Amino acid sequence: MDLFTDVDVTAGQAEAMGRAMLAVARADGVADPREVALIEELAPVDISASDPTPTEMAAAFPDAAGRDLVLKSVLLVALVDGDYSDAEKAVVASYAEAFGIDADRLEELASSVKAYLMAPLLSLSNTRAVVEVSRKLKV
């Protein structure tokens, strides 16, 4: 399953996306090491950089494909540690709102990220473990 489609981003957009992912990771007080490792793998980020505002993100990503890419990326960070906290949801929702993305579309994007995270587990024979992970992800 391919979560990310080919979307060309500039160096500035990649940096802004990395900062947005870091903002989500830090939303609940401390960035989980799994979240930081994922961010560093996906986008360049200076961990001392300030969090981008929703307005800044909307200006950096004027097109729908780029906005979907940002939202899937921040959702991936929020979900990777198995705890999609209210604080993380608030940050993700603030970016979605600035992008003009409604709650139904945001849920579609979240579902695609959850499916992506679950895909490697579907072939496992330990169905009890797969079910437990799916419950944690609320798939």
Residue 48: phi and psi, rounded to 5, are -90, -5
Q: From CA 62, how far away is CA 80, in angstroms rounded?
A: 27
Residue 1 — very low, low, confident or very high, per pLDDT cuts 50/70/90? very low
Residues 77-135 have pLDDT tens digits of 998 877 788 999 999 999 999 999 999 999 999 988 888 877 666 565 566 665 666 56
Residue 135: the pLDDT is: 62
Cβ–Cβ under 8 Å, residues 16 and 57: yes
Cα–Cα distance between 132 and 16 in angstroms, integer? 34
Of residues 109 and 48, more confidence is placed in: 109
Residue 54 CA to residue 101 CA, distance in Å, equals: 12
